[in-house]
Amino acid sequence: MKLLITGGLGFIGSEIARQSIEKGFETIVVDKVTYAGDLERLRGYEKKYSFYKEDITNREGISKILLEVKPDVVVHTAAETHVDRSIKDPAIFIETNVGGTQVVLDAAKEVGVSKFINFSTDEVYGALGEDGQFTENTPLNPHSPYSVSKAAADMLGRAYFHTFNLPVITVRPSNNYGPWQYPEKLVPVMIFKAHMGENLPVYGKGQNVREWLHVKDCAGAVFAVIEKGQPGEVYNIGSGEEKRNIDTVKAILSLMNKPESLIEFVKDRPGHDFRYSLSVEKIKRELGWEPEITFEIGMKNTVEWYLDNLDWMKTKLSDLKSYWEKAYYK
Ligand SMILES: NC(=O)c1ccc[n+]([C@@H]2O[C@H](COP(=O)([O-])OP(=O)(O)OC[C@H]3O[C@@H](n4cnc5c(N)ncnc54)[C@H](O)[C@@H]3O)[C@@H](O)[C@H]2O)c1
């Protein structure tokens, strides 16, 4: 099988690429290599995949690659992904996530693929209170420029199934964590800052709840969807591991033997969604997929991985310092 992954140098895309290579699939990575993309993530897998440096908004370039490669399956993960950046500068989120998705869908339609896995997110559903869960039938109600751009791309993919018969399958994963995540997202920021003995910025009072899914489980679910998922369908991918942010941060500090006094509450993110929680009954029932990595074990391994890979984290430091200075709403 020939699997083409857009955004395959990103956090989740690179895990999908590694698993694809390990399964013996012909693996093709297309990535613009933005600040969030990094060839290092596929260290050790050189020569085992083909790489095209391309921007998904470049219609001609993407069409040429797909016509040359003729992939069986496209897994479309390329996106601008950080909510905070979307609040500061929404335009590129619409250009990449909506415009870019349309370009990739058109190219897949032109060449013909057997499956197109369109990466959406739990954030497209909006926010929950203390109770309830999102099912695949919950109406979309996104709140941030990021989640609006993802919802538009999600619906565009479904429109290409209904209108053009393109075999699009939509996946909506919850918050991923694990090795190789760019240190602007909660888990690696906290590990890196705790390691440096700096204060850990926690939005509001840290009461917001997220459902933590290990990236290896997320990629595993994608392969179950490739194998058994039905075109036109949507699958939530979650872990059931719901935590308040403050508890996630405390768990990280405890694994690192660092004091909770490092926690610094900062001004909340504007429009911060309170809670996401996914029902994963459908993917369990129809595809037989279940997460395998518990929060306790996954977070322990993740902390260890970052501490073993500080050299990689440090390559991001100059970018990050200026970002961090602007990022938190003091
Ligand atoms: N990380 C999560 O917790 C999470 C949860 C649910 C859904 N998602 C979705 O999963 C997908 C992957 O997320 P991630 O966390 O791995 O993201 P990431 O930010 O780590 O990686 C994104 C990748 O896309 C590439 N990219 C960005 N713009 C591009 C463009 N114009 N052309 C080509 N490549 C481009 C980047 O270079 C990078 O390699 C995204 O669609 C995201 O919305 C992520």
By most ligand atoms within 8 Å of CB, the mutation choice from 34, 150, 277, 319 for ligand 1 is 34
Nearest residue (CA) to ligand 1, atom 36: 37
Map out the domains of the chain with their CATH numbers: 2-176+214-237 (3.40.50.720), 178-210+241-271+293-327 (3.90.25.10)
Average pLDDT in the chain: 96
Query: Residue 263 above 80 pLDDT?
Result: yes
Helix, strand, or coil here: 2? strand
The model's pLDDT over 268-315, given as tens digits with 9 standing for 90+, comes to 889 899 999 999 999 999 999 999 999 999 999 999 999 999 999 989
The model's pLDDT over 78-135, given as tens digits with 9 standing for 90+, comes to 999 999 999 999 999 999 999 999 999 999 999 999 999 999 999 999 999 999 999 9
Residue bearing tokens 């929950």: 128
CB 168, CB 3: distance < 8 Å: no
- Provide the pLDDT for residue 108: 98
- Provide the pLDDT for residue 321: 75
Query: Residue 329 above 60 pLDDT?
Result: no
Pairing type for strands 209-214 and 242-244 reads: antiparallel
Whether pTM > 0.75 for this model: the answer is yes
Ligand 1 center to residue 167 CA distance, Å? 21
Torsion, Cα 22 27 32 38, to 10 degrees, reads 20
Query: Residue 167 above 50 pLDDT?
Result: yes
Residues having CB closer than 6 A to ligand 1 are: 7, 9-13, 31-34, 36-37, 55-57, 77-81, 96, 100, 119, 121, 150, 173, 175-176, 182
- Provide the pLDDT for residue 317: 79
- Provide the pLDDT for residue 330: 47
Q: CA 255, CA 278: separation in Å to the nearest integer?
A: 27
